[in-house]
Amino acid sequence: MSDALINGLAGAGGGIIAQIITYPLQTVNARQQTERDLKKEKRKVGAIEQMCQVVKQEGWERLYGGLTPSLVGTAASQGVYYYFYQIFRNKAETAALQGQKKGIGDGSVGMLSSLVVAALSGCVNVLLTNPIWVVVTRMQTHTKISKKDHSNRLATTAPEETALPVIEPLSYGTSHVIQEVYDEAGLFGFWKGVFPTLIMVSNPSIQFMLYETMLKKLKKRRALSKQGNNGVTALEIFLLGALAKLGATVVTYPLLVVKSRLQAKQVTTGDKRHHYKGTLDAILKMIRYEGFAGFYKGMNTKIIQSVLAAAVLFMVKEELVKGVRLLLIKDGINTMKPKPL
């Protein structure tokens, strides 16, 4: 089994576990990012309070709306990312060693090379998995409208129709969302938000650059210590992953908000402030109607969710990689042992 495949599978496993643990925070954050009701915005609601409101008004299942496609997306994204990351990383390490032979560098992959490797891996990941995240965002931001609420809306707009028992369908599964996106914009609709997402590959690029830089320094410090042990514990991996993700999230959060706005269901009638024709249109309307503060809606929730998810992902991934390699070594030893006659 290749090192790239081991890292890809370990990344997928770590991503799934982190996703399940932090998914309710993701759902709340997606709603905060796409909220454009000025009346609701006047009263700031924290993540915990908003989760309680969702449970009370819509039920526990809405906190996990879109979980199935999200898990598929997480497994695909992390698997694709780590697979190509390891391939590009191996090439970068080979190039660094060749450079050392020519008298260039010390043979290690530098910070700039790490950034390029992470960016290339991120671009491949975005182009392949963006359709999945369009579906997930739609399902996370979809809210159920009760019969009572719908009747109130009808009463304020068309009194003669209040007797009609029309409510929004409670069924909003993956197939329904896929059909809805296709009906709205065809195949192109599944790549909504791809431009800010491609720019946002700088997030994992910065994240991995910070992570590997801190990890390298920690291992070097351990190697120089009296014990001479450069091993890193799971807790240390957890903390390094959290710090790296925190720095990356603060820098790239505005792009995440724009992406969520584009991928959420567009309001084609009524207030034009709620309808975005594209990335530039979304940015200009957000600046005009909401100010720069609009680009940081739900940032507190996102920091908590993303830092926790990244920390869990790194910790689980490293442990899975160690476990698989250990099993492969043991299998190799067992196969080399002579069979009893």
The count of structural domains within the chain is: 1
| pLDDT tens, position by position, 274-313 | 678 888 888 898 888 888 888 888 888 888 887 788 788 8
Domain-located, residue 198:
yes
Determine, yes or no, domain membership for 154.
Answer: no
**Which three-class secondary structure state does DSSP give residue 22?**
helix
Is the residue at 158 inside a domain?
no
Q: Tokens 């792009």 correspond to what residue?
A: 255
157 located within any domain: no
What is the distance between the alpha carbons of residues 271 and 283, in angstroms, rounded to a whole number? Answer: 16
CB half-sphere exposure, 266, CA atoms < 13 A:
22
Would you state the torsion angle of the CA atoms of residues 323, 325, 328, 330, taken in this order, to the nearest 10 degrees? -70
Whether the CA torsion 99, 104, 109, 115 is positive or negative: it is negative
Domain housing 217 = 3-145+172-335
Give yes or no for a contact between 117 and 89, defined as CB atoms under 8 angstroms apart: yes
- Token reading at 167: 């409510």
* 159 located within any domain: no
Query: In this structure, are residues 202 and 251 in contact, taking their beta carbons and an 8 Å threshold?
Result: yes
105 DSSP assignment: S
Residue 129 lies in a domain: yes
Considering the domain boundaries, does residue 163 fall inside one?
A: no
pTM of the model: 0.58
- Of 65, 71, 61, 69, which is closest to residue 29 (Cα–Cα)? 65
> How confident is the chain (341 residues) per 10-residue block, as mean pLDDT?
76 82 85 69 68 81 81 81 87 88 80 82 88 85 58 43 40 80 85 84 75 85 69 82 81 84 71 76 87 84 82 84 82 60 52
Asked if the structure places residue 152 within a domain, the reply is no
Give me the CATH number covering residue 55: 1.50.40.10
Q: Dump pLDDT digits (tens) for 89-129.
A: 889 889 888 888 888 877 787 777 887 888 888 888 888 88
